[in-house]
Amino acid sequence: MFKDDLKSSYLFGSNAPFIEEQYEHYLENPDSVDPDWRKYFDELQKISDSKSKDINHSEIIEQFALYAKHKAPISTPPQGHNPKQVGVLQLINAYRFLGNRIADLDPLQRHLSEAVTELDYKHYGLEDTDLDTEFDTGSLVGPHRATLRSIIEALKETYCKHVGIEYMYLTSTEQKRWIQSRFEGSRSKINLSPDDKRSLLQHITAAETLERYLHTRYVGQKRFSLEGGESLIPIVNETIQRAGASGTKEIVIGMAHRGRLNVLVNCLGKMPRDLFSEFEGKHSSELSSGDVKYHQGFSSDIKTSGGPVHLTLAFNPSHLEIVNPVVEGSVRARQDRRNDISGDQVLPVLIHGDSAFAGQGVVMETMALSKTRGYATGGTLHIVVNNQIGFTTSDPRDTRSTTYCTDIAKMIEAPVFHVNGDDPESVLLVAQVALDFRNTFHSDVVIDLVCYRRLGHNEQDEPMVTQPWMYKKINSRLTTRKLYADQLENHDVIAKGDGDKYVQAYRDALDAGVLLDQTVIHGYQSPFTANWGIYNQSDWRANSSTALPLKVLKRLGEKVTSIPSEYKLHPTVQRVIDNRKLMGKGDLPLDWGMGEILAYASLLDEGYGIRLSGQDCGRGTFSHRHAVIHDQNRQSWDSGIYVPLQHIKDNQPEFTVIDSILSEEAVLGFEYGYATTEPRQLIIWEAQFGDFANGAQVVIDQFISSGESKWGRLCGLTLLLPHGYEGQGPEHSSARLERYLQLCAEYNIQVCVPSTPAQVFHLLRRQMVRPMRKPLIVITPKSLLRRKEATSELKELSVGGFKPVISEVEKLKADKVERLVVCSGKVYYDLVAERKVRNIENIAIIRLEQLYPFPHNEFADEIKKYSHAKSVVWAQEEPGNQGAWHRIQHYLNRHLLKHQKLSYALRPSSASPAVGYLAKHNEQQKALIDAALTITA
């Protein structure tokens, strides 16, 4: 009955993968397998421990086959098995788990591998006399039966030479078997033709020769050399060619400094003469500041067998890994533009340094995004240039707390392929397998290129000062190019001296300022390229109509409040929708939430896409938005969700709203990358509280505020930052307005504090309708979301536009006004309320709604209007050393009349953004209101 299934043992054939998977689970956690299996494996362990002799176990074989095929229960195993066969399987399993620990990965051979007991066959009751005994090999790729000696040789070849593999922590059996088929099937060797080997040598030669050429031509200039890690170049080039052959149309690369210039020239095809010009100090006059050459981005088109592939190297500041989420956002935008749902057409490649990969938290944050719906990109190929030193720290006791620098990747079950950088052929194998894994399973995968850094951190650094032992080894070691050239000479793949001829040919090309590689395509234009030329408008006053006819507003109001009848709404949400229906008809004043929703609906109606993300932005942190409606009777994740803004009209652009993971830095970086790639969408990131943007300050400083002046990168990203001093303490009051104002220069960003629903409606529409793409910082309210005074009539959306300055709304006699109070945000309503209580008629209050670019003309008109006023007071809720006061006082002073004096009303300067005691908060609030509204002689 079982003859066809059991030609030798239950341990091979169709049952082997199933049985071994059960056994692996048992080894990790005995309680994770069926009780019958656990009982059986327990017995095997006992027998293995007792090292009993071989015993016929044909009875249990039939029961295994039954179980594997039909899941039939098995009876208690008889007390008679072959423990040595079990030991062989345990040994195979151990090599799959731990073989990487003794692999020959370090070109410097500084770290002598400690003996791993689990990799000794004697640990499993096997003896020297068993080496020539045949055993079943289970699921080990290769012959179904082999001697123990040949099994061990196969395992060492696969897992312990120049390739070390970590993958057994994957929960997917399919992925593990796939990896085994690729590495065990080839014994971790690649079959290259002589032409392939010569081509590989040329790539290594190009990498080394460029660095040496720059070193001698531009002595002492920083370039962050790739010497010691030259094998990165064939990895990248193989990825480009193989990806193109498999249908990839675009690759976006993110990397820090190390090897960047080499990748630019030898992978992306930047002309050497252009690089030399940068070394010689020449620069673009179009950029106000520019950036150093090893931060620069680049794009090109490369020929592959599958057609042109567009390459983009993202601009990157010195904050190393911060480029990771930016790349992912750019990739997602490109995928969305192509409707590339699976990520087959656009590939993200991230090149890391070993210490940064292990040490910088944004790596974890970015990986945490990789499988989420709003941020997934179909898997990322990570390449770690592991030169075994972080700046000047090379002692593994100081560089990290994990065995490998790549251990963070296990968090998302990304397999890690370690490879010795001095073996270019193994490097090429790993590159091929890694890309194929990503494309097959659309999951992240990591290549750990173990190499070294031949020079110091930069070319002005002397590494022998702090790493004498390491650099004695480096200085005595032949280069990767020389080692491989000698290898090819010894195998008659190249003639003696050809290696040197390759070097000379490349140097001659560099002397001419050109490339030997002819794969770059010039003049190719993809139909998916975004046209940024129409957004170069830099005049923020450019006239763009944001008002809409009442008829259109009412139609949109109906759309955003139409919920399918089968949806049972929470009573609170039902009240919101009912009120919005009245607001949409003009029967009830608009609150902030409705003003914002109508802005989105109108943009969608006009053909602009919208992407809104943040930690609670579907509902809104303060429960004001309700862009996502939840059926109270929903029974699953995939049902009971309705998003009205996705139903404005047929064939509308995408409205995406994402409740993000609890991350600021990676999520904001992602949205920046998206916004710099897609100008036709309103991209918004909302902080849960404005203070929480603290966690994304690197993105704000290094990209959002300075990306245009450094790199010419336009970006229309919008940040919504809830702000308001309402006694909620230091971390829930201030959006740190002063920080954004400090970053303002050269009309780089917009900082606005809208105080009404009509204002936010016109402001958000202006961000897209105006032919300009500049980052927009919106200081949004908390308590004003529902304050009766902070409402607008529907008709205010049908006239005018965003007002940088809002004049006094009461009909005060201008010639009787003795003081003009200027303010922004919530404090305006507090001041107006107290002015009414005190029946004050000689103090006018105006709102400065746009703090930068400062509205000089509009503010000057207000000053002239109240020419009889002797004092002008700036009032703010924030402490004096914070808020807008220090940044805008010179603007205010510029427009004062000769007889006017500028003063302020604010909280005392403070080391903390706000007090934590409600009583003290109220005391300070009363004091600043008094200061603003009290005129002294």
Indicate which CATH number applies to the domain containing 640.
Answer: 3.40.50.12470
How far is Cα 259 from Cα 230, in angstroms, rounded to an integer? 8
Whether residues 101 and 39 share a domain: the answer is yes
List, for residues 457-495, the tens digit of each pLDDT value: 777 788 888 888 888 998 999 999 999 999 999 999 999
The number of residues making up the chain comes to 937
Instruction: Domain count for the chain, please give it.
Output: 4
Whether residues 682 and 826 share a domain: the answer is no
- Whether residue 413 has pLDDT greater than 70: yes
- The CATH number for 308's domain is 3.40.50.970
Whether residues 821 and 784 share a domain: the answer is no
Contact assessment for residue 443 and residue 416, using Cβ atoms and an 8 Å cutoff: no
CA dihedral 749, 754, 757, 762 (to 10 degrees): -40
Average pLDDT over all residues of the chain: 90
List, for residues 850-861, the tens digit of each pLDDT value: 999 999 999 999
List, for residues 287-342, the tens digit of each pLDDT value: 656 666 556 778 999 999 999 999 999 998 888 899 999 999 999 999 999 999 99
- Please report where in the chains the tokens 């017995």 appear, as a residue: 43
H helices within 222-301, ranges in order?
A: 232-245, 260-266, 272-279
> In the listed set 157, 181, 208, which residue is the last one of a domain according to the structure?
157
Contact assessment for residue 156 and residue 392, using Cβ atoms and an 8 Å cutoff: no
- 132 backbone dihedrals φ, ψ, rounded to 5°: -105, 15
User: How many Å is the Cα radius of gyration of the chain?
Assistant: 33
* Structure tokens given for 459: 């070319």
Q: What is the pLDDT of residue 35?
A: 74
- Whether residue 49 has pLDDT greater than 70: no
Whether residues 745 and 859 share a domain: the answer is no
Of the given ranges (112-116, 285-289, 591-595), which has the lowest mean pLDDT? 285-289
768: burial class by Cβ within 10 Å (0-12, 13-18, 19+)?
Answer: buried
Residues contacting 838, CB < 8 A, separation 6+:
933
Q: What is the DSSP letter of 479?
A: P
Whether residues 559 and 491 share a domain: the answer is no
Whether residues 73 and 203 share a domain: the answer is no
Percent of the chain past pLDDT 70, that is, above it, reads: 91
Whether residues 341 and 485 share a domain: the answer is yes
Whether residues 750 and 838 share a domain: the answer is no
Cα 336 to chain centroid, rounded:
16
Q: What is the pLDDT of residue 76?
A: 38
Residues spanned by the domain of 40: 13-157
458: burial class by Cβ within 10 Å (0-12, 13-18, 19+)?
Answer: middle
Closest CA to 355 of 302, 400, 312, 323: 400
Q: What is the DSSP letter of 654?
A: P
Mean pLDDT of 899-925: 95
Round to the nearest angstrom and report the end-to-end CA distance of the chain. 110
> In the listed set 763, 797, 831, which residue is the last one of a domain according to the structure?
797
- Whether residue 33 has pLDDT greater than 90: no
Sign (positive or negative) of CA dihedral 762, 767, 770, 775 = positive
Whether residues 592 and 718 share a domain: the answer is yes
Of the given ranges (46-60, 352-366, 768-782), which has the lowest mean pLDDT? 46-60
Q: How many CB atoms lie within 10 A of CB 209?
A: 21
The arrangement of strands across the sheet holding 250-255 comes to 163-166, 416-420, 445-450, 381-386, 346-353, 250-255, 309-313, 298-302, 520-521
CA distances from 160 to 95, 168, 269, 420 (A): 8, 15, 36, 11
14: burial class by Cβ within 10 Å (0-12, 13-18, 19+)?
Answer: exposed
- Please report where in the chains the tokens 């190390």 appear, as a residue: 258
For Cα atoms 479, 485, 491, give the angle at the middle one, nearest 5 degrees: 140
- Whether residue 78 has pLDDT greater than 70: no
> Is 18 domain-assigned?
yes
Percent of the chain past pLDDT 90, that is, above it, reads: 76
Whether residues 204 and 128 share a domain: the answer is no
- Please report where in the chains the tokens 């990896």 appear, as a residue: 179
Partners of 845 in the β-ladder: 821
Q: How confident is the model at residue 257 (pLDDT cuts 50, 70, 90)?
A: confident
How far is Cα 888 from Cα 874, in angstroms, rounded to an integer? 10
Whether residues 790 and 822 share a domain: the answer is no
Q: What is the pLDDT of residue 82?
A: 82
Whether residues 318 and 361 share a domain: the answer is yes
- Please report where in the chains the tokens 């006791």 appear, as a residue: 397
How far is Cα 166 from Cα 414, in angstroms, rounded to an integer? 9
Q: What is the pLDDT of residue 289?
A: 62
